[in-house]
Amino acid sequence: MKKLLILGAGTGGTIMANKMRHALDPLAWEITIIDQDNRHYYQPGFLFLPFGYYRERDVLKPRDRFLPSGVRFLVGKITGIDPEQNKVFLSDGSALSYDFLIIATGTRIVPAETPGLTGPLWQKSIFDFYTAEGALALGRFLENWQGGELVLNLADMPIKCPVAPLEFAFLADTFFTKKGLRKKVNISYVTPLSGAFTKPRAAKMLGALLEEKNIRIVPDFYLERVDDEKKMLVSYDEREVPFDLLVTIPVHKGEEVIEKSGLGDEMGFVKADKNTLVSLSYPNVFVLGDAGNFPASKAGSVAHFQAEILAENLLCAIRQRPFTASFDGHSNCFIETGFGRGTLIDFNYETEPLPGVFPYAGIGPLQLLKETRMNHYGKLAFRWIYWDILLRGRKMPISNKMSMKGKKP
Amino acid sequence: MSQKVIAGITLDVNEEGYLTNPAQWTREIAKEIAREEGIDLTDKHFLVLDFIRDRQQKGEMLTIRSVGNSGITDIKGFYQLFPGAPMKKAAKIAGITKPASCV
C-alpha cells in the first residue's frame, strides 16, 4: 500500500482528505489524517462570539464528522517531521511513514512574542478573538463594560483573515450603538499598515467606512511592547496609544514543528512554490492554507481554492508527470460592516479587489466593494455552505481561478 | 507607468516612486534614492537591502519582523537605519515593489 499522510484536519486538510479519497484507489492508497484534537472550529464565526451573536456550539463540530470513510483519523501531537526519511513523529513515540505528505497545520497566535501582552492584564483588559477561548472571554467582559478607550491592534502581518479586525471594529460600533453606550466608547484601529487594508481601492472604501463610523485609524504603528502599568501600546518608534480595553491580533506563526523540521521560514511557515504548492525542498511534500508562506491571504477561501490545485498537482506527482495546475492567489472574503450589512472582496496575486457583481456577471446577486444586506446574508449562509459543501470537497459555483467577469477595472 | 532618471539612468517607476523592474537596480541608484529619503547609506544598510532583495526574488513574505530575525539587525536597529516606515523606505531604496505583507 502507498501512503498519503495529511497533517492537520482543519479547512485545508479536511477538503484534501475528501478529494484524495475520491481520487485515489482505496486498494492501492492508504490515507491518514492527523490533528491534535477532534474539535473543528468554524473560524470565521469567532468574530460573532464576543458580541453574543453566536455561541460556541454554533462554531464547533467534531473533525471526524467531515472525513470520509476510508480515511484513518488519528488524534495526536506531531513532534517531528523528517522529510529526508519520509517520516512524521508523534508525542506518544510512534512514527508514521509516507509516500506523499500534505502539510495543512495552519497558523496560530503567539501573544508571548510581544513583551507585556500576556502580563497581568491578559484576559482582564487585553483579549484576543482569534481563539474560541479568547473570543468567549471577551464576550463575558463586554457584557458589563461601561465604556472607555477601545483599541484594536494588529501586532504584525501576516494574520489570519486580514479583514477580520476591520469587521470587529464595525461590529463593535453597532454593538455599542445598540447598547446606548457608543458615546462613551472611543474606538481606535491601530495597524502596522499605512491604511485600512493593503490593496488601494479596498483600503479607500474601508477607510471611508471607518471614518463614517467615527473609528480613528492609527496607521504605520508597529507594536514593540505593551506597558501594563500605564495601559499603553508602545511602538518601535516610541509612539504611545493608551487603552482601557485592548483587543489584540497577536503575532502569527506556523506550528513549532515546522520550524524544527527545517521546512519553514523564521516564522514557521512552510516554504513552498506559490503556484504549484509543492515544497521548495522536497518534491513529495505539498502545502496548503495558512501553513504556507505564500504571499496570499491566510483565509479559508484560499485553502479551499488551493485544494483543487493541490489535488490536481498531487495526482500529477503520483503519476510522475509535470504539474498541470497553478494557483493564482485567488481569495474571496465577506466583510461584515455592521447594522446588518456587508461587503465582499474577490482578488488574486495580481489583481486587487475591484467593484462589480459576484459570482455571475450582470446578475450578482452579491456586490463587490459595496455595502448591501444581501452580502450580509451571504456571509451568514456561508456557515452552512462551509460544513455541508466546502469541507466535503463538493463542487461550488465559484472557480478556483479569479474571474474578471462582473468586475469593473 | 512612468519613468524617472536616477543616477543618470532612466528607470521604470510606479506612481509612488518604486522601481517596477528590480533588474534595473544598482548600488548607485540606491544611494540616490536614499539621499532623496534623507538617508546616507552605509555597509549595514546594504546588507539589509541585499537581504530584502533576495527574499523578494524568492517570492517569500517580507515583513519588518523577518528583517529583525535576519541576523543583520534587530527591529529597533532596522528603525534606526530607515527611520519612520522602515519596510517601505528600505523597499523603495532596494528597488523592489512595495511588499504586500498582508493581502
Chain B closest-CA separation from residue A182 CA (Å): 30
CB contact under 8 A, B102 and A296: no
Note whether B102 contacts A162, CB cutoff 8 Å. Answer: yes
What grid cell was written down for A209? 467606512
Please state the domain extents for chain A: 2-107+254-318, 110-251, 331-390
A290: cell is: 495558512
How do strand A148-154 and strand A245-249 relate by DSSP bridges? parallel
The minimal CB distance from A266 to the residues B69, B84, B88 is found for B69
Q: How confident is the model at residue B1 (pLDDT cuts 50, 70, 90)?
A: low
pTM over 0.95: no
Q: What is the mean pLDDT of chain A?
A: 96
Distance from CA of B8 to the nearest CA of A (A): 31
Q: Is residue B63 part of a domain?
A: yes
pLDDT on residue B12: 87
Contacts of residue A265 in chain B, CB cutoff 8 Å? Answer: 60-61, 66
Residue B29 within any structural domain of the chain: yes
**Contact call for A198 and B100, based on CB within 8 A:** yes
* SS3 category, A103: strand
A156 contacts in chain B (CB < 8 Å):
63-65
Express each pLDDT in A168-183 by its tens digit: 999 999 999 999 999 9
Residues 6+ apart with CB under 8 A from A268: A253, A254, A255, A256, A258, A259
pLDDT digits (tens, 9 = 90+) for A247-294: 999 999 999 999 999 999 889 999 999 999 999 999 999 999 999 999
Percent of chain A with pLDDT over 90: 93
> Is residue A158 predicted with pLDDT exceeding 70?
yes
Q: What is the pLDDT of residue B100?
A: 61
Domain A110-251 is classified in which CATH homologous superfamily? FAD/NAD(P)-binding domain (3.50.50.60)
Q: CA neighbours within 13 Å on the CB side: how many for B27?
A: 8
Q: Identify the closest residue of chain B to A236 by CA–CA distance.
A: B76
| Range with the poorest average pLDDT among A144-158, A237-251, A393-407 | A393-407
Q: What is the pLDDT of residue A402?
A: 94
CATH of A2-107+254-318, one of 3.40.50.11540, 3.50.50.60, 2.60.40.420, 3.10.180.10: 3.50.50.60
Q: How many domains does chain B have?
A: 1
- Closest partner CB to A220 (pick from B66, B85, B100): B85
Confirm whether B70 is domain-assigned.
Answer: yes
Residue B102 confidence (pLDDT) above 50: no
> Can you tell me which residue has the cell 466583510?
A335
Does the pLDDT at position A75 exceed 70? yes
The pLDDT of residue B103 is above 70: no
Alpha carbons A303 and A377: distance in angstroms, whole number = 22
H-helix segments, A180-255: 200-212
- Render pLDDT for A86-122 as a digit per residue (tens, 0 to 9): 999 999 999 999 999 999 999 999 999 999 999 999 9
Greater pLDDT, B44 or B98:
B44
Per-residue pLDDT tens over the stretch B16-48:
888 888 888 999 999 999 999 999 999 999 999
Chain B residues with CB under 8 Å of A327 CB are: none
Partner-chain residue, chosen from A157, A197, A271, that has the shortest CB–CB distance to B63: A157
CB A248, CB A239: distance < 8 Å: no
Residues of A in contact with B84 (CB under 8 A): 220, 237
What is the value of ipTM here, to two decimals? 0.81
Angle between helices A300-318 and A11-23 (to 10 degrees): 30
Residue A279 vs residue B60, higher pLDDT: A279
Fold agreement (A2-107+254-318, A110-251)? yes
Separation between Cα atoms, residue A81 and residue A262, nearest integer Å = 9
What is the 8-class DSSP label of residue B88? H
What percentage of residues in chain A have a pLDDT greater than 70? 100
Does residue B15 lie in a domain region? no
Residue B1 lies in a domain: no
Look up the domain containing B91 and give its range: 25-103
Number of inter-chain CB pairs under 8 A, A vs B: 66
Residue B11 lies in a domain: no
User: Which residues of B are identified as catalytic?
Assistant: 102
Residue A165's pLDDT is 97
Residue of chain B minimizing CA distance to A239:
B84
Residue B7 in any domain: the answer is: no
E strands, A162-244, where? 185-190, 215-218, 223-227, 232-235, 240-242
Answer for the pair A199, A352: CB distance below 8 angstroms, yes or no: yes
Helix (H, G, I), strand (E, B) or coil at A224: strand
Residue with the bigger pLDDT between A5 and B6: it is A5
Residue contact A194–B59, C-beta within 8 A: no
CB-based burial, A120-139: b 16+ in 10 Å, e otherwise: ebbeebbbbbbbbebbbbbb
